[in-house]
Amino acid sequence: MLDARRLLLLAEVDRCGSIAAAAEHLSYTPSAVSQQICRLELEIGQPVLERHPRKTVLTEVGRILVVHAERVRFELESASAELADLERLKSGSVSIGAFPSATSLLLPPIVRSFSCKHPGIELTVRSATSKELVHQLVQGEIELAIMSDYEWCRIPAVNLSTNLLARDPMKVLVPVGHRLANGGPIALEDLRHERWIMRADHPTTEGMLDSCRAAGFEPSVAFETGARLDLQAMVAMGLGVAAAPILSLGEVLPEIVVLDVIDQLPERRIFLAHLRRKRLSPSAVLISRVIRSGALGWARRTDFSADINCALAPEAVGV
């Protein structure tokens, strides 16, 4: 096998134009450089340099070896950079943001696992709406963001690199003892005469209204609430029925039955984002991998599909 150090030395001679210039650049003696080049020639059984009074010129064999030497140099430099990144991961900081449901239900086990494995990295988490998270990314307040959107209200992703984490469909919630509580999947038509509880100023409300209208009826909205926990509490009390994405449910109250619906209900996308123009820090790259792995594990414990990318690469999610 060829000696990589001699290959790199040959490349340096080519770069500097002569053995003497390469020796001076590397702080070697010309005789030491010349000896190593001679040993390389003995190894391969062919000359690699044509020696002239004022310069050296690569032979055809020498040119081939220099091409490979540059590849070796690139790989060694890449390995050194990766090792340096690993060393930096012993300390550092990273700030991430997430929409409220993800902050309270998806992130806690991920953050706990990450902090246990990497105690030297300071991790901070901010909770905000997806639109607010875009602003925080642009302002440099956070490095990564877990966002969500719906088909009719996409988050502009022109300046973002994104990875899809999961698709989160909605389910119908009815109180225990409801006439449909013990059945299988239902049709929205079955809920035509029910009193509905919906979120105030929330994209799910617009989507559910459209779904009900597509099923042939205008839902009777009896209550509106701004909080997802209030939504469950009202259903549990028998005040009406509701619909919510799986992630927002968390621990479902025992007085509630969650039902599948055969109609097409709104589905939100959950994705990880960072600024396209900004290179992620080593700590951010690491936590992004943990987030994707944690999201996939969580999705497998539920009954909806997830699509986790193996690398943090740009993907169009709602341009």
Please report, as a single letter, which amino acid is at residue 215: A
Cα torsion through 232, 236, 241, 245, rounded to 10: 30
Block residue for tokens 């193996």: 310
Neighbour-count burial of 106, counting CB atoms closer than 10 A to its CB (0-12 exposed, 13-18 middle, 19+ buried) = buried
For position 93, what pLDDT does the model report?
87
What fold, for 92-166+270-300? D-Maltodextrin-Binding Protein; domain 2 (3.40.190)
Indicate where the chain has its CATH 1.10.10.10 domain(s): 4-87
**Using an 8 Å Cβ cutoff, are 138 and 262 in contact?**
no
Please report, as a single letter, which amino acid is at residue 106: L
Measured from the Cβ of residue 243, the count of other Cβ atoms closer than 10 Å reads 28
For position 313, what pLDDT does the model report?
32
Structure tokens at 188: 């929205």
- CA dist list (Å): 252 to 23, 67, 229, 296, 303: 73, 63, 10, 21, 15
- CA dist list (Å): 68 to 4, 29, 36, 120, 144: 10, 25, 17, 39, 38
Indicate where the chain has its CATH 3.40.190.10 domain(s): 92-166+270-300, 168-267
* CA gap 281, 158 in Å, rounded: 21
Structure tokens at 258: 């969650």
Instruction: Transcribe 164-190 into DSSP letters.
Output: EEEEEEEEEEEETT-TTTTSSSB-GGG
Q: What is the Cβ-side half-sphere exposure of residue 252, based on CA atoms within 13 angstroms?
A: 21
Structure tokens at 232: 């469950």
Residue 204, SS3? helix
* CA gap 171, 248 in Å, rounded: 10
Residues of the chain with pLDDT under 70: 85-88, 301-319
For position 220, what pLDDT does the model report?
96
* CA gap 218, 223 in Å, rounded: 15
For position 67, what pLDDT does the model report?
93
Structure tokens at 216: 């042939």
Domain 168-267: CATH class, spelled out: alpha beta
Please work out, in degrees rounded to the nearest 5, the angle formed at the alpha carbon of residue 110 by the alpha carbons of 104 and 116: 125
Strand ranges in 82-228 using DSSP code E only, listed in sequence order: 92-98, 121-127, 144-149, 160-175, 195-199, 220-225
Structure tokens at 287: 């936590």
What fold, for 4-87? Arc Repressor Mutant, subunit A (1.10.10)
**Using an 8 Å Cβ cutoff, are 240 and 213 in contact?**
no
For residue range 184-237, what is the model confidence (pLDDT) as tens digits? Answer: 799 999 999 999 999 988 889 999 999 999 999 999 999 999 888 899 999 999
